Amino acid sequence: MKRNVPLAITFIVGAVLIFSVFIPPMENWGEDFTLFFDIIAVFAFFLGGGNLLRVHLTKLSRRKQDWPYSIVTIMGFLLMLAAGLFRIGNPGDINASLTEQGSLFQTIYDSVFVPLGSTMYALLAFFVASASYRAFRAKNREATILLVAAFIILLGRTPLGTIVTGWVPESFSILQIPNLAIWIMNSPNLAGQRAIMIGIGLGVVSMSLRLILGIERTYLGGDDK
């Protein structure tokens, strides 16, 4: 029972969603099932929030390593939750939009979340530079090709590419660095990406069929007996 019910649900939902694509009268069924999915997805927020509190409160109560950071996490979470749920510091009444300029929710978002998020992403530049210095070395033929391609793309993504090779006549325009960068993206990159995508696509189809037919049961947890 514990295993058969989830297996039956997976089979029914999977089969309906497949048939809804190919059989027009079943189109609405697919739509309804997707709506159910969207409703279930909302509960992931409750689970996520609850789990975040559980993990950090445990860390805090047991004084685990870096526990002071958990205080920041919990305070941030509760502050945003309160500002959002109870419209604290919102201009206008309770029905006013949360993202209204000047609301506490939007102010915290703009003044804390946006700069922190952008900073974290910007740190990538430092690691990319350091990794490029160590990794892009002409150790063999393949590495050299990769190195040359990286140089062309790096230059092609800046106005310098145009400045450096702008003098190349139009009849040889493919030799202009921005055009070479586009060629790399449009030909070798595209061929590789398509091959990977077709492989992934076939993998997804086979895995989905295994799930729908109950052959793949690891998602149920434990052994598959």
Partner 1 sequence: MTSHLMPPLALTLVDIGRILSLAVIAGGLLWLFLRAIKRKEVERRVIFLFIFVSVVAPILFPTVFQEKATPIVKDVFDKIESLPPGSVVLLSYDFDPAMAPEVQPMADAISRHCLVRGLKIIYMCLFATGQGQFTSTLENVIKPEFPDKVNLVDYVNIGYKAGNEGVLNVIITDFKKMFPTDVDGVPYDSIAVFKGIRSCKDLDLVISIGGGKPGIKEWILFVGDPGNVPIASGVAAVVAPLMYPYYPAQMLGMLGGIKGAAEYESELVHHYPQFKNSPTPALLMMGPQTLAHLVIMAFIVIGNILYLLERKKGRKR
> Residues in the site for partner 1, rule: CB under 8 A?
27, 30-31, 34-35, 37-38, 41-42, 44-45, 95, 97, 99, 101, 106, 109-110, 113-118, 120-122, 125-126, 128-130, 132-134, 136-139, 147, 150-151, 154-155, 157-160, 162, 178, 182, 185-186, 189-190, 193-194, 197
Nearer to partner 1 by Cβ, of 67 and 77: the residue is 77
Are 187 and 215 spatial neighbours (Cβ–Cβ below 8 Å)?
Answer: no
Alpha carbon 53 to its chain centroid, in Å, reads 23
Could you tell me the smallest distance in angstroms from the CB atom of residue 38 to partner 1?
Answer: 3
Reported as half-sphere exposure (CB side, CA atoms, 13 A), residue 114 has a value of 7
Nearer to partner 1 by Cβ, of 117 and 172: the residue is 117
**End-to-end Cα, the chain, rounded Å:** 13
Could you tell me the smallest distance in angstroms from the CB atom of residue 58 to partner 1?
Answer: 26
Amino acid 202 reads: L
Nearer to partner 1 by Cβ, of 174 and 215: the residue is 174
Tokens for 166?
A: 């702008």
Nearer to partner 1 by Cβ, of 177 and 212: the residue is 177
Could you tell me the smallest distance in angstroms from the CB atom of residue 189 to partner 1?
Answer: 5
Nearer to partner 1 by Cβ, of 59 and 83: the residue is 83
Collect all residues with Cβ–Cβ distance below 8 Å to 79 and sequence separation of at least 6.
108
Alpha helices in 96-170 (DSSP H): 104-108, 114-122, 124-135, 141-156, 159-165
Could you tell me the smallest distance in angstroms from the CB atom of residue 63 to partner 1?
Answer: 31
Look up residue 188 and give its DSSP letter.
Answer: I
Nearer to partner 1 by Cβ, of 5 and 44: the residue is 44
Nearer to partner 1 by Cβ, of 34 and 61: the residue is 34
Rounded alpha-carbon distances, angstroms, from residue 181 to 33, 145, 149, 164, 177: 44, 14, 8, 14, 6
Question: What single string gives the DSSP state of each residue in 171-206?
Answer: GGGGGSHHHHHHHHIIIIIHHHHHHHHHHHHHHHHH
Could you tell me the smallest distance in angstroms from the CB atom of residue 197 to partner 1?
Answer: 6
| Of 47, 56, 46, 98, nearest in space to 76 by CA | 56
Could you tell me the smallest distance in angstroms from the CB atom of residue 62 to partner 1?
Answer: 31
Could you tell me the smallest distance in angstroms from the CB atom of residue 184 to partner 1?
Answer: 9
CA–CA distance, 163 with 155 (Å, rounded to integer) = 10
